[in-house]
């Protein structure tokens, strides 16, 4: 069978079939249009090993001699009920074809579909691979039970080979209020596994797993990276065998008996998204951004084709301003104060619905509280819209408090591990923030939630939902069987149905901050809340690594209170604003308490955001490689090289007395640019407080002018920033 070659944007993927099964023999640098006889890639046969060349297939399997982690695990029962039969399939190719999707351009085949079957085992796997125009690879498997008895699926993994020169592995981890922090280690023999059993993506989930050449960095080195687009339980892994081969992959983490396929039924894996770059991590980021922004439903100002083109409005969220203190007059005052600053979207957070005075009661009763709001939400909505702002609302539809009408009336709708429902005395899982999970697998519970949200959106002029999910799905079951898989799909159906009924409403994925951030949920939502932490120092790292995959227009970034509610730190208004600027900008603070000087800086920051959000939300993200661990320089550069916006950030004290010169990456080396500071400015109250120096570098007062090559290779001497301060720089190509 003729090999299949997919290629796009400097990436090639080659599938070979000489062994009888599908095998990816190359995923990496572009190979051009001509391929040699791939038989030359047949490996040697070692001593004390199988007498055949071992194939690392598209679905790795023991029937081909693979002794690493299998791609497919499952079994059948015999007539006596004994389990374990059909444990080792021998999938072989029965069909394979490649095609070019419309609009992909002249680069060649971009999509491959491979069907492998084992008639004796009664199994068939169809694999879809698409190399998107920007170079992002998308891979899914569909397993069909073609046999005559049920097949209990344990795992179906999506894997890709990485070469031996991938010497280091980087992934992300974290916790509540500290999501998406990088960790790195050398690749060694054995299997490295990250498991997520949260029933959601998880605060500690690895948004990105990247294998790279030794010392790979932001701007250099070869990198092979993957992301698993699933919002439920999952595993991500690197399988490194003694024979030197390595497989990078992920799979849904299924509970015992969670997926049993009856004859004729099928299961499709969540998508594995993968990117190759020979330009370090920034090259991986660029591939993800191009994919996101090419989606027809993508939101955000677009400099290129694709997306809706709608600018991301400046947000004011009420949570850290009023918490549960919902009174009409103060909220109208807050809306007036927000409008005066230039806010475009006002979001009423938790506390508006029936019985909700704190977090112990009310979840599930999605009716406007008549005691708090005797005229409904209309007076507040009218006031907000009267100031030219959109109105948004917080909901948490997947959860329920025991102290709620819906829990009292429908205890059988509450998730528990036992076969008997809570109504019949079945054991519940432990509470988390005084709440339990509503069983969306139950059609009646699903319909109730849909009807309530549909009524809210139909009866009020709501443009935005902040959709929260504040607990793990521990011991999650329906009818006594594990059901995270079905719960996740039911939640997806809920999002999809509401979006279809109310296409004008944008939805944010919040999950006690960043515990549900993945490409599965982002196919159904318009932004994520990266963390419940609004501390600007913490946010610098959280946003940098969240934006390694997600473009900034999808990442909510707010100016929090002067005194951070989650860490106790105090930061200047310019540092908080500079941090929020490089995302979907907003505020979560009682801005009525801001001083005149702080309001002046906020106005300038909001004007700066509005001026540059077209650039911020369409350009290329770049991150400089600096030797100083506590100093960062990151920015966004337009695709035409005309302009950029950068931020130099001191995360802590610097080792050297002066930060030295920093190269500004991503500029056109042949063009001349002017570099000027834009936040803070000398008009801001904390301009002098941002620096610890007798005199600034010579260029800071009047700006600097130099070629892109000079700015990149020689750089500019940075001012001596105080710890936990930032300087935002505008870079503009000069005329001619």
Active site members: 468, 532
CA distance 69 to 140: 18
- Name the strand (E) or helix (H) holding 228: strand 223-229
What CA dihedral angle connects 244, 245, 249 and 254, to 10 degrees? Answer: -90
CA distance 116 to 683: 67
CA distance 554 to 308: 13
Q: 623 Cβ partners below 8 Å, 6+ apart?
A: 218, 219, 281, 282, 544, 632, 633, 634, 665
CA distance 462 to 251: 37
Q: How far apart are the first and last CA of the chain?
A: 55
Residue 238 phi/psi, 5-degree rounding, is: -125, 120
Question: Which of the 8 DSSP states describes residue 323?
Answer: T
CA distance 50 to 52: 5
How many CB atoms within 10 Å of residue 444?
A: 10
CA distance 648 to 723: 11
Q: How would you label 383-421 residue by residue, b for 16+ Cβ within 10 Å and e otherwise? A: bbeebebbbbbbbbbbbbbbbbebbeebbbbbbbbbeeb
- Which is it for strands 555-559 and 527-529: parallel, antiparallel or unpaired? parallel
Q: Which of 318, 383, 345, 276 is nearest to 526 (CA)?
A: 345
How many CB atoms within 10 Å of residue 614?
A: 17
How many CB atoms within 10 Å of residue 297?
A: 12
Find the farthest-apart pair of alpha carbons in the chain and give their distance in angstroms, rounded: 86
Cα atoms in the 13 Å half-sphere on the side-chain side of 254 = 20
Exposed, middle or buried, 655 (CB in 10 Å: 0-12/13-18/19+)? exposed
CA distance 530 to 382: 30
CA distance 25 to 41: 8
Q: 344 Cβ partners below 8 Å, 6+ apart?
A: 313, 314, 315, 388, 389, 390
């Amino acid at each position: 069978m003729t090999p299949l070659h997919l290629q796009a944007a400097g990436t090639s993927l080659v599938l070979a079939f000489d062994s009888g099964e599908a095998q990816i023999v190359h995923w990496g640098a572009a190979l051009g249009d001509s391929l040699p006889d791939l038989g030359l890639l047949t490996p040697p046969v070692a001593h004390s090993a199988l007498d055949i060349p071992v194939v690392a297939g598209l679905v790795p399997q023991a029937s081909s001699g693979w002794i690493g982690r299998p791609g497919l695990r499952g079994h059948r029962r015999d007539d006596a009920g004994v389990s374990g039969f059909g444990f080792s399939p021998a999938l072989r190719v029965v069909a394979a074809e490649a095609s070019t999707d419309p609009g992909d351009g002249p680069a060649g085949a971009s999509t491959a579909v491979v069907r492998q079957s084992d008639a004796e085992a009664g199994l068939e796997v169809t694999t879809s691979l698409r190399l998107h125009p920007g170079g992002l690879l998308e891979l899914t498997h569909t397993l069909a039970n073609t046999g005559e008895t049920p097949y209990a699926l344990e795992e179906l993994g999506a894997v890709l080979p990485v070469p031996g020169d991938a010497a280091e592995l980087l992934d992300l981890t974290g916790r509540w209020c500290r999501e998406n922090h990088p960790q790195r280690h050398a690749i060694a023999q054995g299997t490295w596994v990250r498991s997520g059993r949260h029933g959601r993506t998880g605060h500690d989930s690895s948004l990105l797993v990247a294998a790279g050449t030794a010392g790979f960095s932001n701007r250099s080195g070869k990198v092979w990276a993957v992301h698993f687009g699933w919002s439920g339980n999952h595993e991500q892994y690197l399988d490194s065998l003694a024979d030197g081969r390595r497989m990078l992959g992920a799979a849904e983490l299924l509970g015992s008996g969670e997926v049993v396929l009856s004859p004729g039924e099928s299961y499709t894996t969540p998508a594995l998204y993968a990117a190759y770059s020979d330009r370090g991590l920034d090259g991986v980021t660029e591939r993800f951004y191009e994919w996101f922004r090419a989606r027809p439903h993508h939101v955000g100002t677009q400099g290129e084709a694709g997306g809706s083109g709608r600018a991301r409005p400046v947000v004011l969220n009420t949570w850290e301003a009023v918490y549960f203190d919902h009174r009409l007059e103060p909220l109208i005052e807050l809306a007036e104060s927000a409008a005066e600053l230039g806010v475009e979207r006002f979001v009423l957070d938790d506390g508006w619905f029936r019985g909700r005075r704190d977090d112990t009661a009310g979840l599930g009763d999605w009716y406007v509280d008549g005691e708090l709001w005797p005229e409904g939400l209309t007076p507040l909505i009218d006031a907000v819209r009267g100031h030219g702002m959109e109105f948004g609302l917080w909901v948490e539809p997947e959860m329920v408090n025991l102290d709620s009408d819906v829990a009292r009336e429908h205890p059988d709708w509450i998730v528990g591990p036992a076969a008997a429902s809570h109504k019949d005395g079945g054991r519940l899982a432990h509470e988390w923030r005084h709440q339990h999970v509503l069983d969306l697998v139950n059609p009646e519970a699903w319909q109730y939630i849909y009807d309530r949200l549909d009524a809210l959106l139909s009866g009020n002029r709501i443009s935005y939902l902040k959709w929260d999910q504040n607990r793990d799905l521990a011991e999650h079951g329906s009818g006594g069987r594990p059901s995270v898989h079905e719960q996740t799909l039911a939640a997806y159906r809920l999002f999809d149905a509401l979006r279809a009924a109310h296409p004008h409403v944008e939805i944010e994925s919040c999950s006690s901050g960043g515990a549900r951030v993945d490409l599965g949920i982002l196919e159904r939502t318009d932004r994520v809340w990266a963390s419940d932490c609004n501390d600007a120092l913490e946010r610098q790292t959280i946003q940098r690594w969240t934006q390694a995959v997600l473009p900034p227009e999808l990442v909510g970034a707010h100016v929090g209170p002067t005194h951070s509610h989650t860490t106790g730190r105090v930061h200047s208004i310019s540092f908080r604003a500079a941090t929020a600027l490089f995302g979907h900008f907003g505020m979560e603070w009682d801005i009525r308490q801001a001083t005149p000087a702080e309001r002046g800086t906020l106005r300038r920051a909001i004007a700066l955001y509005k001026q540059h959000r077209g650039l911020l939300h369409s350009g290329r993200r770049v991150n400089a490689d600096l030797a100083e661990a506590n100093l960062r320089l990151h920015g966004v550069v337009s695709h035409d090289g005309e302009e950029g916006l950068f931020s130099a950030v001191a995360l802590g004290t610097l080792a050297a007395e002066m930060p030295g010169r920093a190269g500004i990456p991503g500029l056109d080396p042949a063009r001349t640019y002017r570099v000027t500071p834009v936040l803070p400015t000398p008009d801001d109250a904390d301009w002098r407080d941002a620096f610890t120096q007798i005199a600034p570098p010579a260029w800071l007062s009047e700006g600097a002018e130099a070629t892109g090559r000079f700015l990149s290779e020689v750089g500019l001497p940075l001012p001596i920033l105080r710890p936990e301060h930032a300087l935002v720089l505008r870079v503009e190509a000069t005329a001619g």
